[in-house]
Amino acid sequence: MTDLATIWAVLIAVAVFLYVALDGFDLGVGILFPFAKDPKERDQMQAAIAPVWDGNETWLVLGGGGLFAAFPKAYAALMPALYAPIILMLLALIFRGVAFEFRHQGRNRGKKWWTIAFAAGSFVAALAQGLVLGGFIQGVTLVDGAFAGGPVDWLTPFSLLVAGALVCGYALLGAAWLVFKTQGELFERARGWVKQLALLTALSMGAVSLATLGVDPRVTERWGLTMTSVDWPVFIRVMPLPLVAGAICYLLWRGADQRRHLAPYLYAVGLFFIGYIGLAISLWPYIVPFEMTPGDAAAADNALSLMLWGAIPMLPIILGYTAYVYWLFRAKVDTDAAYH
Amino acid sequence: MEWDALLLSRLQFAFTIGFHIIFPAFTIGLASFLAVLEGLWLFTKKPLYKNLYLFWVKIFALSFGMGVVSGVVMSYQFGTNWSVFSAHVGSVIGPLLAYEVLTAFFLEASFLGIMLFGWKRVGPKLHFFSTLMVAVGTLMSAFWILAANSWMQTPQGYAFAEDGTMIATSFVEVIFNPSLPSRFAHMVLAAYLTTAMVVAGASAFALLKNRALPESRTALRMAILMMVIVAPLQVVVGHESGVVAHEYQPAKVAAMEGWWSTRPDQPTILFGWPDETQERNHFEVAVPGTGPLLFGNAPDENLRGLDDFAASERPPVWIVFWAFRIMVGMGLVMVALGIWGAAWWAFKRLDTARWYHRALVAAGPSGFVAVLAGWISAEVGRQPYVVYGVMRTADAVSPVTAESVALSLMFFIVVYAIVFSAGALYILRLMSRGPDTVEQPPESDQPPGTPLGAAIEEAR
């Protein structure tokens, strides 16, 4: 019988992954906004995500709210440590979120301004999430469970590298989503983006993976490596992971090349999944790296079980109507996409 | 007063939540209004209701979007700025917020997509169902957040764990804490009234400009109906909420009422200038001896004044005193406008009552003012505690630097100023244009979503 804290750690990890896989393509579409040919193409790009972005962003609220509810001590330790990038992310998400409606309310100047706000908001939100992730992986300074470091501890070459990689990865998800949802000229352009971004993401993921090995000796050990020697049995067990990632990158490139519609997006999600597993291998069982395990940070058992009783019926229902909405809007976007 | 992380975090929280509450206060009511409009359209097939729906749904989309983005901020601020609070009460109110996400946020967000973009893709019944789900979602969300907030005002059903954090001994007691029923009812009615005032103001404006007459006349009557029933009801519910606060948070009520001394026959102070150093009100205008009438105490039973609390246990009196009066004043304006409108309606002069229309336009934002003032008096009134009587606000703040918070507060002010003034501009622009009243070709009585209806929509 697994304990409640572990169950909740897995559930929150799933919520965060769903956020990345879903809102990742929304943000990616925003990041690709400047590369569209004309305003009409940008309208199509936005129409490809407009009915679903709000539901997608809700997974971020579940991630944050869930962390607060299930692991209050981890939430209390991490949020002050990552204060600046979290606030930056929230502000950027404000611009991104309102721009959907505002772009269609604004007249000439207003529309231009909200187009820029949408692209910049998406880009900065992705960047800030990367900084949060980087700051999280490298660990935070705690004394008695409370943050005791400085206001810019999160800002390191490592976190910047992770941020850059996440922007590439989201752009890849966005491009692959556009391949799935658009037709004609934009579909062709999106295929080209997927090919370029698959390569860029592969390179940056590789760089992040190598850099993560240097974050802490405990991580290096997980991968069967130390400064001086290789622990072959461990190394061989984890080695398939980067190989699978490489294979997925190739399939992704080929899927775009062969004009497949849905395959590139699914492969891109697969790539993120491999990265996620890699992260789990590096950091498990820490919910605040190298400081707190889920057990250390968990809320009281009665709180966790009350929430589990809510999550067991609600999550399948949520996934059910989310899937229905996606099914409803499964058609490709019209080339003369109009807003509601 | 020192400009430390505590004060700055309080300002930031007040600023961000003040902006946030404006939107839910409006969209809770508007979602229900839209559900009623669509229901009426389905039932009567009168295009007028569809025109009204399509008009208000645009305003809903704008407001809801702003509510979402300002709401995401709140779910992270508990951690960024109030981490000690989060660590200590997470086991008690965390599940309430988790239930809000699970039962409300996903429901609203997903069905909003169908509501806004699914007009041609689903049948009319399913579209109506989506509008209903959004409306239900807004109400559930209000329930959970009010449960969490009410627990912070009147905590019960908790104990302390060995490490000093709080745990729930009974979640039924936590959720259904003493102030939840009256405060939840008070907030939902406030949201309905806020929407009614906006709908009345916008409809009256259209009537003044001679636009969309059938639509505006109908919407105005719906708003007046809401006002004339709900505004007086709100007075009763608000009073009940005050009675509960008097029992559990006597210092808050003493500050609201401006009572400095403890005695049985407290006055009702209409106007005054509370002075915290001299502990009295300047320029007081009061009706003496009406306290027992309001709070039902026996003639020899004291009503506690601020002198019964050490200075360190008192909320800032001036803010609470005035915010409370502004809220009550707005409520009375709504009661009056409701009765005035009902009278013109009864005399069949509602559509030509120009001065009444002008008054409604002026009172359009009165709901927002009342909601903000009400929340200010409730939240400032429970100071110096964040969990009343248990945890002080000063002990709840995150270990972050004042510089970080000053910077983030500055950014919030700039960004909110840009985003929300643009949003207000777009909403006012839509309102001044009024509903589209395209004469429907006869065959487009076909509900949207059916193949024929979709084809007609396409052709237009």
Predicted ipTM?
0.91
A102 touching chain B per CB within 8 A: yes
Q: What is the pLDDT of residue B373?
A: 96
The secondary structure element, H or E, covering residue A322 is: helix A301-328
Cβ B108 vs Cβ B134: under 8 Å: yes
What is the per-residue pLDDT for A285? 86
pLDDT digits (tens, 9 = 90+) for B232-272: 999 999 999 999 999 999 999 999 999 999 988 888 888 99
Whether residue B433 is predicted with pLDDT greater than 80 in this model: the reply is: yes
In this structure, what token pair is assigned to residue B44? 């009567």
Pick from B112, B118, B404: CB nearest A151: B404
| Arithmetic mean of pLDDT, B158-186 | 94
Mean pLDDT of chain A: 92
Report whether pLDDT(B443) > 70: no
Q: Does A120 touch chain B (CB under 8 A)?
A: no
Residues of A in contact with B66 (CB under 8 A): 98
Q: Is residue B177's pLDDT more than 80?
A: yes
The radius of gyration of chain B from alpha carbons, rounded to an integer in Å, stands at 24
Out of A166-175, A261-270, B273-282, B411-420, pick the least confident.
B273-282
Among B29, B17, B18, B14, CA closest to B72: B17
Minimum Cα–Cα distance from A153: chain B residue: B400
| Whether the predicted pLDDT of B371 surpasses 90 | yes
- Indicate the residue of A151, A299, A310 with minimum beta-carbon distance to B91: A299
What is the spatial distance between Cα A295 and Cα A2, in angstroms, rounded to a whole number?
12
Contacts of A313 (CB under 8 A, 6+ apart): none
Report whether A84 contacts B45 (CB < 8 A): no
Q: Is A84 on the interface with B (CB under 8 A)?
A: yes
Q: Where are the domains of chain B?
A: 183-400
Taking an 8 Å cut-off on Cβ atoms, the answer to whether A147 and B408 are in contact is no
> In the prediction, which pLDDT does A338 show?
60
More confident residue, B42 or A217: B42
Residue showing tokens 């049948």: B123
Taking CA atoms, A186 is separated from A182, A335, B105, B258, B275, in Å, by 6, 9, 33, 66, 67
Percentage of chain A with pLDDT > 90?
A: 75
Closest alpha carbon within chain A to B84: A76
Place B448 in a pLDDT band, splitting at 50, 70 and 90.
Answer: very low
Q: Is the pLDDT of residue B196 over 70?
A: yes
**pLDDT at position A339, please?**
60
Using the Cβ of A80 and the Cβ atoms of chain B, whether some distance falls under 8 Å is answered with yes
Question: Is the CB of A87 less than 8 angstroms away from the CB of B411?
Answer: yes
Query: Do the Cβ atoms of B9 and B81 come closer than 8 Å?
Result: yes
pTM comes to 0.91
Point out the residue among A57, A66, A79 whose CB comes nearest to the CB of B76. A79
Q: Is the pLDDT of residue B453 over 80?
A: no
The answer to whether A165 faces chain B, any CB pair under 8 Å, is no
**Does any CB of chain B come closer than 8 Å to the CB of residue A297?**
no
The residue of chain A with its CA nearest to that of B110 is A55
Given a cut of 80, whether residue A336 has pLDDT beyond it is no
Residue A232 — very low, low, confident or very high, per pLDDT cuts 50/70/90? confident
pLDDT band at A164 (very low <50, low <70, confident <90, very high): very high
Write down the pLDDT at residue B440: 52
Omega prior to B292 cis, within 30 of 0: no
Strand partners, B280: B275
Q: Do B86 and A79 touch (CB under 8 A)?
A: yes
Read off the pLDDT of residues A2-59 as tens digits, 9 standing for 90 and up: 699 999 999 999 999 999 999 999 999 999 999 999 988 999 999 999 999 999 999 9
Q: What pLDDT does residue B22 have?
A: 93
Q: Which residues contact A290 (CB under 8 A, 6 or more apart)?
A: A139, A216, A218
Please check the confidence at residue B38 and state whether its pLDDT lies above 80: yes
Q: How far apart are CA A128 and CA A167, in angstroms?
A: 9
Q: Which residues are B287's β-sheet partners? A: B268
Shortest alpha-carbon distance between residue B350 and chain A (Å)? 33
List of chain B residues whose C-beta atoms are within 8 Å of the C-beta of residue A340? 61, 116-117, 119
Q: What is the pLDDT of residues A236-274, one digit of tens each?
A: 888 888 899 999 999 999 999 999 999 999 999 999 999
Q: Are B79 and A79 an interchain contact pair (Cβ–Cβ within 8 Å)?
A: yes
For residue A90, the chain B residue with the least C-alpha distance is B73
**Predicted local confidence at residue B259, as pLDDT:** 92
Q: Of B345, B55, B355, whose CA–CA distance to B222 is shortest?
A: B345
Look at residue B280 and tell me whether its pLDDT is greater than 80.
Answer: yes
Mean pLDDT of chain B: 91
Q: Which of A54, A329, A332, A334 to mutate to test the interface with B (most CBs of B within 10 A)?
A: A54
Q: What is the pLDDT of residue B449?
A: 46
Is it the case that residue A340 has pLDDT exceeding 70? Answer: no
Size of interface A-B (CB pairs under 8 A): 235
Q: Helices (H), strands (E): how many in chain A? A: 14, 2
In sequence order, the 6+-apart residues with CB closer than 8 A to the CB of A155 are: A84, A131, A135
**Bridge partners (DSSP) listed for residue B221:** none
